[in-house]
Amino acid sequence: MDLRAGDSWGMLACLCTVLWHLPAVPALNRTGDPGPGPSIQKTYDLTRYLEHQLRSLAGTYLNYLGPPFNEPDFNPPRLGAETLPRATVDLEVWRSLNDKLRLTQNYEAYSHLLCYLRGLNRQAATAELRRSLAHFCTSLQGLLGSIAGVMAALGYPLPQPLPGTEPTWTPGPAHSDFLQKMDDFWLLKELQTWLWRSAKDFNRLKKKMQPPAAAVTLHLGAHGF
Amino acid sequence: MALFAIFQTTFFLTLLSLRTYQSEVLAERLPLTPVSLKVSTNSTRQSLHLQWTVHNLPYHQELKMVFQIQISRIETSNVIWVGNYSTTVKWNQVLHWSWESELPLECATHFVRIKSVVDDAKFPEPNFWSNWSSWEEVSVQDSTGQDILFVFPKDKLVEEGTNVTICYVSRNIQNNVSCYLEGKQIHGEQLDPHVTAFNLNSVPFIRNKGTNIYCEASQGNVSEGMKGIVLFVSKVLEEPKDFSCETEDFKTLHCTWDPGTDTALGWSKQPSQSYTLFESFSGEKKLCTHKNWCNWQITQDSQETYNFTLIAENYLRKRSVNILFNLTHRVYLMNPFSVNFENVNATNAIMTWKVHSMRNNFTYLCQIELHGEGKMMQYNVSVKVNGEYFLSELEPATEYMARVRCADASHFWKWSEWSGQNFTTLEAAPSEAPDVWRIVNLEPGNHTVTLFWKPLSKLHANGKILFYNVVVENLDKPSRSELHSIPAPANSTKLILDRCSYQICVTANNSVGASPASVIVISADPENKEVEEERIAGTEGGFSLSWKPQPGDVIGYVVDWCDHTQDVLGDFQWKNVGPNTTSTVISTDAFRPGVRYDFRIYGLSTKRIACLLEKKTGYSQELAPSDNPHVLVDTLTSHSFTLSWKDYSTESQPGFIQGYHVYLKSKARQCHPRFEKAVLSDGSECCKYKIDNPEEKALIVDNLKPESFYEFFITPFTSAGEGPSATFTKVTTPDEHSSMLIHILLPMVFCVLLIMVMCYLKSQWIKETCYPDIPDPYKSSILSLIKFKENPHLIIMNVSDCIPDAIEVVSKPEGTKIQFLGTRKSLTETELTKPNYLYLLPTEKNHSGPGPCICFENLTYNQAASDSGSCGHVPVSPKAPSMLGLMTSPENVLKALEKNYINSLGEIPAGETSLNYVSQLASPMFGDKDSLPTNPVEPPHCSEYKMQMAVSLRLALPPPTENSSLSSITLLDPGEHYC
């Protein structure tokens, strides 16, 4: 995994172009009851935007932590970060998940990650980094709301947090600073993996929800570009 | 005596025994051994804390003792530190002592033991060391759990530049452990198979988030685990700099300092250093909330002296700085207020201000700065509460900015901030007369005087000039003076005066008054003195002029100048020169290269009458001519021509024209006399002639060859070069004999015309003389007589009496072939329907007619055609093939037709056509004249031929149909017209 802030302008430009043409896509611009399609598309777009945003943020934050955390091939064992929701899942397992389960996992994961991220924000020493983290937290909160919207549109209930399992960020004195840095590293890494996974989830869901006619219209509309 | 001896012995024995007892007691109690040794650890500080007691110490007795402490690491035999600790020990006292380890205590087990000795004066030597206490083992058990690797110390905070030892503890000695500092591998010293220590000397500050150190255990290429620590390195706390305190109201002391580097570390490992103010006289302390300033409330009016200590502190270090001062010596006044200006006039003003009152009887030192006209003046003044200062020697009508600041006069500490205000002085009358000069133009009966003046400088104007007054006074006749008021900013005026002497006074006026007058006298005697103009050479810096002094008393000289070509009013300048000066340099940026300037030097008499002394003209920099003259070629003969350029003006040129270069090109290699060879800029050669006189504007170029081609080009030249290169003008000399021919031919033509006129006038006479009329027999009177007798047998001539000169043959076309010179095909082969022609074959063998046959024209059919007097005799070229075969298309046919027809017309010169006119009466076929009208059909072909003669070229072209074309070619082809 490459967490460095790399060449992401092209990606941003592509994303902006997609966003700009979104209203022109007939499949997403139908009158009447639009169904969950537009909200899934928006959630997907937001996921891709967050992916881009995280790439820049992670680069800055890991440089702030210093080597070896900002080294591209640094792959430490997952120490002390066991409470973070894991995004990695076996492909077969992922395929076997249904939409409800997929969305529920996404929602739960981002709920946890957002909480940890706010803890990260509190510890950040520089004002600029704090601003970036706060901005990302807001965006992530938006994504959480979008997922909740999609779930509501599809008629799925939101997962209720179990009492006592509320994730909390505690600056434990027993927790060494090195492990704390490691946790931060893993938090950012998991976030990136989750965003990548969510993009695939929403893309799959989007395709599933699209009626065949809309696909044809979209195809024809693409000639206009 | 014996009793005494016994008593003495007993006493001695008692004393001895007492001494022995005492010695035994001490011997039993000494050495006093440290007991109850307990060792605790402080992992963060990496220190061992020892506590023990000393047994057998006498009650309420104090003893000075020395304790020797031995510390071993890993095993007891590995003693790493031995040291003594001296202290006074009381009865039942628990003793404490600490030792700081450079190696984290978690890295290795430590062992401590202690022994003591009395080092007290009450117990003289010899003293003995006690026995060692038993070894106390110290082990910080942090390496617990399932982990196989540990790194110590955990998250240590050190100051930049200190030496730090870290270690790792590996449970499995089989593992290969590598450690990295900020990503770079470090190498250490193995303390035992499980423990390796790394000494980091003088650690630097890298980031406030700490320096990362981690170790990774592996077996082969398989990672077994990773552990790391963050070493927080703080910057060294600096001593506060520039610490000072001052008051501006005796209520608050404002203390400031330069804090230096912030030593804060991330993750709240160390906050920014704190600052505390401590005043020793009052004993008060204040924790400052800002890192570079702090306010201290003055509570006691009686306290004059303050001793402040500023303490900077962080987790690792404390720094302090101290100042002692008297409060009255640290007064920083608030800036003055109510700054005003009173009684402002043209040159003076009074400035007033107020100072914030501090205490009674305080004297303030104030500093005033006056800025105006690009200058700054500074004044110091001592005031109480209300300040006042008289500003003098100000310039009229000038804006000034005055500001003031104050300080405690008795104990100067520092100036207050400035308080200032702007003010403008009033106007005053202009202080200097305007610089005036004039141009006098003489006109019949009067002078036209154009007065010029220069605007007064701001220094002399003393305000805004509103108008100029020009007073003209006649000096010859007593009359009223004329006043002309010219509003500013005009700088000239024109006066028309009669031929009297006039005195002209010019004053500049502003709102306050008038300036001194500038006086000029215009003499009644006009300046009719002819002064020759002298040429001068200027430089880029200007013109250097000198002149002969004017005889008599002069009050000065004036040099005026203007652009030679421009209107005088536009660019007129002058300069005043003192009476004892006869030279000056006119230098101004306004002089432009290539512009001619005319200078006139006047002497001013005591009566202020100007007398023209000299005229000079010149260029600051001469340039090459910008254009070439327009040259006319006159009197062109076969051997010479004259070039003239009379219209070329030498005056309005960007330099003095020194002459002309005449370039001449000809085919001849040699140049003409007076010309010399020259090479042009394009590399071509030509002949060049130089005319040195700029007024010589004509040149006769002679010694030329008739009927020859010449090119010339004339360009003027100045000291800077010649004019622009341009094209050469071409001239060709005429033929030598043409004139002679004209001389001969003209009279001849005249004579011929004369003769013709005369012949016309005398034509009747000539006709009668040279060719009288021949009588016509048919018109003879004899014929009329015969008709009158009506004799039908009267025949003048019988046909049988005539010898025919031709045989008339009427050919039958069927089966007949006619050969044309052996090469010509028979017409009958191609055109059987061709109408027959009438052929007249000569009977005489030696017939020398122009062609093989003669086509006879039947005049009966078309009288109009017969009047043309020509018949289609067309010689046929034997080479001409039949064109029918070639012209298969109508277009070709048409072209050919047109061409052939034109050719046929052209090939028939009238003079060469020989026709043998045969009388119709002589034909045997039409022997009877009366039978002609009765045979209109025969021969039809001749009628066709006649039509050809009658139509024009355009009409002869057939319509573009195939049939008609064919028929036309058949008809019109000259080859077909052989008779």
ipTM for the predicted complex: 0.72
What pLDDT score was predicted for residue B801? Answer: 57
CB-based burial label for B955 (10 Å; 0-12, 13-18, 19+):
exposed
Q: How confident is the model at residue B237 (pLDDT cuts 50, 70, 90)?
A: very high
| Residue that the structure tokens 């039942």 belong to | B92
B212 contacts in A (CB within 8 Å)?
65-69, 178, 181
> Is B859 within 8 Å of B915 (Cβ atoms)?
no
Question: Between the CA of residue B328 and those of B325, B337, B413, what are the distances in Å?
Answer: 9, 22, 9
pLDDT of amino acid B812? 53
What is the band of A23 on the pLDDT scale with cuts at 50, 70, 90?
A: very low
Contact flag A66-B211 (C-beta cutoff 8 Å): yes
Taking CA–CA distances from B230, the nearest residue in chain A reads A178
Cβ <8 Å between B209 and A76: no
- Predicted local confidence at residue A166, as pLDDT: 54
B180–A71 C-beta distance less than 8 A: no
pLDDT at B255 over 90: yes
Contact list, B232 vs chain A (CB under 8 Å): 177
Q: What is the CATH number of domain B32-136?
A: 2.60.40.10
Closest in A69, A76, A177 to B267, CB measured: A177
From the candidates B179, B215, B230, which should be mutated to test the interface with A, based on the most A CB atoms within 10 A? Answer: B230
Confidence class of residue A82 from pLDDT cuts 50, 70 and 90? low
* Set of chain A residues whose Cβ sits within 8 Å of the Cβ of B206: 66
- Distance CA(A178)–CA(A184), nearest Å, equals 10
The SS3 assignment for A179 reads helix
Closest residue to A66, CB basis, from B206, B223, B225: B206
Tens digit of each residue's pLDDT (9 = 90 or more) over B627-675: 888 888 887 888 888 888 888 888 888 888 989 988 888 877 778 778 8
Structural domain boundaries of chain B? 32-136, 147-232, 239-327, 335-423, 434-617, 628-738
Cα distances (angstroms) measured from residue A20 to each of A15, A24, A198, A200, B609: 8, 8, 22, 21, 89
pLDDT of residue B509: 94
pLDDT at B389 over 90: yes
* Closest CA of chain B from A125, distance in Å: 6
Q: Give the global pTM.
A: 0.56
DSSP structure class, residue A28: G
Nearest residue in chain B measured CA to CA from A174: B154
- What pLDDT score does B344 carry? 92
B896 vs A50 pLDDT, higher one: A50
A interface with B, Cβ–Cβ < 8 A, is 64-69, 71, 76-77, 79, 123, 125, 176-178, 180-182
Domain extent, residue A161, equals 34-208
Q: Which pLDDT does position A209 carry in this prediction?
A: 78
Q: What is the mean pLDDT of residues B450-460?
A: 90
Q: Where are the alpha helices (DSSP H) in A83-126?
A: 91-96, 99-123
Of A210-219, B232-241, B451-460, B512-521, the poorest mean pLDDT is in A210-219
A123/B267 Cβ within 8 A: yes
Cβ separation A176–B155 shorter than 8 A = yes
B774 vs A143: CA distance, rounded Å: 139
Reply yes or no on whether the pLDDT at A86 is more than 70.
yes
From chain A, pick out residues whose CB is under 8 angstroms from the CB of B227: 178
CATH superfamily ID and name for B239-327: Immunoglobulins (2.60.40.10)
pLDDT at A219: 38
Q: What dihedral do alpha carbons B388, B389, B395, B397 form, nearest 10°?
A: 0
pLDDT at B871 (0 to 100):
38
Q: What residue of B is the nearest CA neighbor of A172? A: B267
pLDDT computed for residue A17 by the predictor: 53
pLDDT of residue B213: 93
What is the C-alpha to C-alpha distance for residues A190 and A81, in angstroms, rounded to an integer? 10
CA distance A185 to A58: 9
Mind giving me the DSSP string for B785-804?
A: HHHHHT-TT--SS-GGGS--
pLDDT tens string A132-184: 889 999 999 999 999 998 888 888 888 876 555 555 555 444 578 888 888 88
Does B232 contact A177 at a Cβ distance shorter than 8 Å? yes
Q: Is residue A195 part of a domain?
A: yes
DSSP B7-21: HHHHHHHHHHHHHHH
Q: What per-residue confidence (pLDDT) applies to B127?
A: 74
Question: Hey, what amino acid is at B303?
Answer: Q
pLDDT above 60: residue B858: no
pLDDT at B913: 39
pLDDT at A31: 46
> What's residue B872's pLDDT?
39
For residue B272, what are the CA distances in angstroms to B167, B285, B731? 30, 19, 102
Which residues in chain B are contacts of A81 at CB distance < 8 A?
none
Distance of CA B296 to the CA centre of its chain: 61
Contacts of B156 in chain A (CB under 8 A): none
DSSP B235-290: PPPPPPEEEEEEBSSSSEEEEEEE--S---BGGGTB-PPEEEEEETTTTEEEEESS
Among chain A residues, CA nearest to B216? A76
Q: How confident is the model at residue B563 (pLDDT cuts 50, 70, 90)?
A: confident
- Residue A21 in domain: no
pLDDT at B301 over 80: no
Q: Mean pLDDT across the stretch B756-781? A: 78
Domain presence at residue A173: yes
Query: Confidence band (pLDDT; 50, 70, 90) for B377?
Result: very high
Residue B818 confidence (pLDDT): 41
Residue A20 within a domain:
no
On the question of pLDDT at B387 being above 60, the answer is yes
In this predicted structure, the answer to whether residue B683 has a pLDDT above a threshold of 90 is no
Q: What's the CA gap between B412 and B364, in Å, rounded?
A: 9
pLDDT for residue B836: 43
User: Is residue A9 assigned to a domain?
Assistant: no
Angle, alpha carbons B56-B58-B61 (nearest 5°): 135
Architecture of domain B147-232: Sandwich (2.60)
pLDDT at B837: 42
Q: Flag whether pLDDT at B954 surpasses 60.
A: no
**Minimal Cβ distance to B210: which of A76, A77, A177:** A177
pLDDT band at B552 (very low <50, low <70, confident <90, very high): confident
Is B180's CB within 8 Å of A68's CB?
A: yes
In a domain? residue A153: yes
What are residue B731's phi and psi, to 5 degrees? -140, 135
What is the rounded average pLDDT for all residues in chain B? 77
Check if B239-327 and B434-617 are the same fold.
Answer: yes
In this structure, what token pair is assigned to residue B946? 């006649």
**Do the chains contact at B229 and A76, CB–CB below 8 Å?**
no
Q: Which of B376-380, B524-528, B943-947 is predicted with the least confidence, judged by mean pLDDT?
A: B943-947
B860 touches B872 (CB < 8 A): no
Neighbour tally for B393: CB within 10 Å: 7
Compare CB distances from B154 to A68, A76, A176 and report the shortest one's residue: A176
Chain B partners within 8 Å of A64 (Cβ): 207, 209
User: B160, B156, B166, B321: which is closest to B255 by C-alpha?
Assistant: B321
pLDDT at B571 over 60: yes
What CATH architecture is B628-738? Sandwich (2.60)
Please choose, from the candidates B302, B297, B283, the residue with its C-alpha nearest in 3D space to the C-alpha of residue B254.
Answer: B297
* A10 in any annotated domain: no
B774 or B617: which carries more pLDDT confidence? B617
- pLDDT of B969 higher than 70: no
pLDDT band at B787 (very low <50, low <70, confident <90, very high): low
Question: Which listed CATH number (3.10.20.30, 2.40.110.10, 2.60.40.10, 2.60.40.1250) goes with B434-617?
Answer: 2.60.40.10
At residue B762, the pLDDT reads: 86
pLDDT of A56 above 70 = yes
Residue B697, both tokens: 């504007």
Position B931 confidence tier, pLDDT thresholds 50, 70, 90: very low
Tokens of B942: 């001749």
A111: CATH: 1.20.1250.10
Interchain CB distance below 8 Å, A77 and B226: yes
- Please give the mean pLDDT across all residues of chain A: 75
Q: Would you call A178 and B230 a contact, using CB atoms and an 8 Å cutoff?
A: yes
Residue A26 inside a domain? The answer is no
Tally of CA atoms within 13 A in the half-sphere of B311 that contains its CB = 13
Contacts of B679 (CB under 8 A, 6+ apart): B685, B686
pLDDT in tens, B174-188: 888 999 998 889 999
Can you read off the two tokens belonging to residue B724?
Answer: 């622009």
Cα-to-chain-centroid distance, residue B625: 30
Q: Work out how many domains chain A is built from and give that number.
A: 1
Looking at domain B335-423, its CATH class is mainly beta
Stretch A99-110: mean pLDDT: 88
Residues A34-47 have a mean pLDDT of 82
- Which of B177-191, B195-209, B584-598 has the lowest average pLDDT? B584-598
Q: Which of B22-31, B56-65, B588-597 has the highest mean pLDDT?
A: B588-597
Q: Please report the pLDDT score of residue B122 as a whole number.
A: 76
